[in-house]
């Protein structure tokens, strides 16, 4: 068996669409919470073209705010 973890939903579709002779089992993302940091950072994508540009600081600040807000709202639910 082959296990691929920590990839985006878009990447799962790419992998599943290209499979030959495989029958992937995909974990539902409906109930997966993203309210915990891993290795000191939130689990959002950091595209190279943004991270290597002048937008990096604004992007990280905005995404951190979004994930902090999400984490604060998930707990009361």
Q: What pLDDT does residue 19 have?
A: 65
What is the share, in percent, of the chain residues with pLDDT greater than 70? 94
Given a cut of 70, whether residue 64 has pLDDT beyond it is yes
The upper half-sphere exposure of residue 59, i.e. CA atoms within 13 Å in the direction of its Cβ, equals 13
pLDDT digits (tens, 9 = 90+) for 18-48: 766 677 777 777 778 889 999 999 999 999 9
Domain edges within the chain: 9-74
Helix (H, G, I), strand (E, B) or coil at 39: coil
| Single pTM value for the model | 0.67
Q: Distance between CA atoms of 65 and 63, rounded to whole angstroms?
A: 5
Q: Distance between CA atoms of 64 and 42, rounded to whole angstroms?
A: 7
């Amino acid at each position: 068996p082959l296990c691929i973890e920590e990839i985006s939903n878009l990447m799962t579709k790419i992998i599943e669409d290209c499979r030959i002779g495989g029958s992937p089992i995909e974990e539902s993302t409906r109930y997966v919470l993203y309210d915990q940091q891993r290795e000191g950072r939130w689990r959002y994508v950091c595209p190279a073209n943004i991270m290597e540009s002048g937008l990096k600081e604004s992007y990280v600040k905005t995404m951190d705010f979004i994930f902090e807000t999400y984490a604060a709202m998930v707990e009361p639910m």
